[in-house]
Amino acid sequence: METVEKEQQALLYATIFGNVTTIFQQMYANTNRYHEMLNNVRDFLKLYQVPKGLSERVMDYIVSTWSMSKGIDTEKVLSICPKDMRADICVHLNRKVFNEHPAFRLASDGCLRSLAVEFQTTHCAPGDLIFHAGESVDTLCFVVSGSLEVIQDDEVIAILGRSWKMRLGAGTKDVEHCRRKDGGRRDGGEDNGEREKKENDVVK
């Protein structure tokens, strides 16, 4: 009996140790990938003599994006899943947008599933222009987190938060780091700049 218990304990310890080892190996691999990516970007910026201000923006964007994603490639993970499962995951990832925006209030589950797989989440760093004044825009964006400033004639005329869609006729400047989700817009209309100051997430 004692032998069986010892074997069970040994198996338990081996399992725990193996899991911990795997976790550390994964962390080490992710850290290596992160530093390799940073080195590649620095080499690129140096090779093409990118101006200092723009280089700093690029590095800030990469660091902040990595810190949010932890180096996980969402699109790569989704591509592994079958179509039905991918739709379920995408609906879950975009649930906040569907719940908070009245545009989706009457949409059926099938409609939401079709839309969700087409949505793209974009991370926008502070100071980024999302749309320049006068350029043609073919997407409809929803602010997931953060906020944006609407700029017209160098003046802030509005600040948009999560309850707003990004489809305006004036420039928009980001006040926070922002994520956006972008949904299709097919009218080929024009929008003015949308610019960010804090990080935001926006859905296309």
The reported pLDDT for the residue numbered 189 is 41
Average pLDDT, the chain: 76
Give the single-character DSSP code of 135.
E
Bigger pLDDT: 155 or 181? 155
Reported as a single tens digit per residue, the pLDDT across 123-156 is 887 778 888 878 888 888 888 888 888 888 888 8
pTM of structure: 0.63
Using CA atoms, how far apart are residues 17 and 7, in angstroms rounded to an integer? Answer: 15
Residue 76, CA distances (Å) to 5, 33, 71, 81 in order: 43, 16, 11, 9
Average pLDDT over residues 177-196: 47
Residue 175, CA distances (Å) to 134, 135, 156, 161, 185 in order: 21, 21, 11, 10, 24
Residue for token digits 């649930």?
A: 95
Cβ(162)–Cβ(185) below 8 Å: no
The reported pLDDT for the residue numbered 23 is 57
The reported pLDDT for the residue numbered 25 is 64
Reported as a single tens digit per residue, the pLDDT across 97-110 is 999 888 899 999 99
Reported as a single tens digit per residue, the pLDDT across 83-95 is 999 999 999 999 9
Bigger pLDDT: 53 or 70? 53
Which helix (H) or strand (E) element contains residue 184?
strand 177-184
The reported pLDDT for the residue numbered 141 is 84
